[in-house]
Chain A
Amino acid sequence: MFDKLLEPGRHGLADGRAGVLVRPVEGLAIATVTAGAKRIAAVADTLESRFGIKPPARPACRERDGVSLVGTGPGRWLVLASGQESAGFEAGLCCALDGLGAVTDQSDALLVLELAGPDVGRTLAKGVTLDLHASVFPTGSAAVTVVNHIGVTLWQTDDAPTYRLAVPRSYAGSFMDWLAGSAAEFGLETLS
């Protein structure tokens, strides 16, 4: 899917080191887990015992052993697991939660992109209306926000900084158009 959106290689400014690097994160099983208002703690406990990660109770991301939990709302998380088959992952999670919360497979719904590079902040500023300065949005922060009129979930994975963005599948082409245009002045390197 991704290679149809943007050719691998260099885009925009061709000289020097690319200011922005983008890489699709493939092979992810993705699900939303939503707890009923009275069962948030029970669902959080279950997730913690299953993944060894305390689910964040705020817009934040926590990661361990290839599993990331992103808090996207009260009692609501986006769970991403690398190297797992989506239907099986969803079924296993359903089984573990045993009716405490809803599990919904989103593995095909979201395109997850990893963005890094010296100019990633200046590029994201052209679409993200949030303050991504390290003092405000440090590693582990997450946000459900809008870029170029497209709803995205965004989180920071390291201090480089490196960001991951989950973009709805139907909008992926328009998102890449925005990214390519916004990063062009810095040079955009598409990694596979």
Chain B
Amino acid sequence: MPGREEVVIGPYHEYLLEPERIRLVVEDGMVKDVDITLGYCHRGIERLMTTRTYRQAVFLSERVCGICSHAHTTAYCTTAEALLGIDVPERGLYIRTIVAEIERLHSHFLWLALLAHGVGEHEAFVHIMKEREKVMDLLELISGNRVHYAINTVGGVRRDITPKVAEKILKTMKEIRPLAEYCVDILDENGPVGKKVAGLGVMSYDEAIRLGAVGPTLRGSGVKSDVRADDPYAAYGELSFDVVVEKDGDVRARAMVRARENLESISMVEQAVGALPSGPIVAEMPEPVVGEFVGRGEAPRGELVYYIRANGTNRPERVKIRTPTFANVFTYTKTLLGARLEHVRPILESIDPCYACTDRLVLVDARTGRERIVSVTDLPYGTVDGG
């Protein structure tokens, strides 16, 4: 067929921060079909977690993802605490929330910077990355590491926020507010980044729901859904914030959701630091139990689901993780179709894909024993959100 070609992106490619293979069928510069092969980051985390104690497994859940590590430990710990019947001290919950929102800031800023870079706005990229270092330094001060904060544990948190650190948090929040506003400005319809990504990769309200999208990808299509508001965990029930929703359903809308969420996060951190209760930060581990529990949390990329089954020992018998990118990656089957090839990059980036999170899906053929990684087209629809 004239003009018909196949474009393979990856596993190592300029567009991709992480290894993944995306096959596009392109006709006259338009994407006609898309196929995604996952598995380059599969590390067997769920299996490994069953060989560790509840508290040791926190460090594994943290290493599901190097960007939203705290969201993973929070969801894991929240689930494990509910399962084991632990009453977490208030102060622990507040510290957890503060770190979670600061993490959301760094994650969203990083993504907005990468989007700017992807559309050739190098100046914006450098500016956001430079200012974002303030957030990274703050996380390092609070937790002792820039990426894996190791601050959550089953029963609370491992490190307290001293008055000196609390003061520094408030100071940094004040300092980065202009950056958050800057991000909103550049994404304006006439802003340098906004005008380049407006109208790309459109997904309607109904499609977003049908494809099982979560988080900013879902909210960018006008669906008001946020675990922090719908099913409050940690200290979210005591903070006031708006669930940011954009109507357009394009790349710009998804970006704008994140940019405006930054402002909400700054206000949430300020509220939580101001209302930090006194008292202990961690509870003792109880006796082992038998049972199972499904818990969830709102990671920077969307709803994150953890399932833990306990068998009466000090180790979980089964842990299942459904990450937000795994839910969102299926939206490519809608957003990429009909897109111009030059627009593929911002569309790929618009769900803020995190393949390190997603790659826990291996099918083993029972007859031959051969492992194979599922591609999107192999999956029946029913399994899309089967957490």
Chain B associates with chain A: no
**Which residues does B use to contact A, with CB under 8 Å?**
none
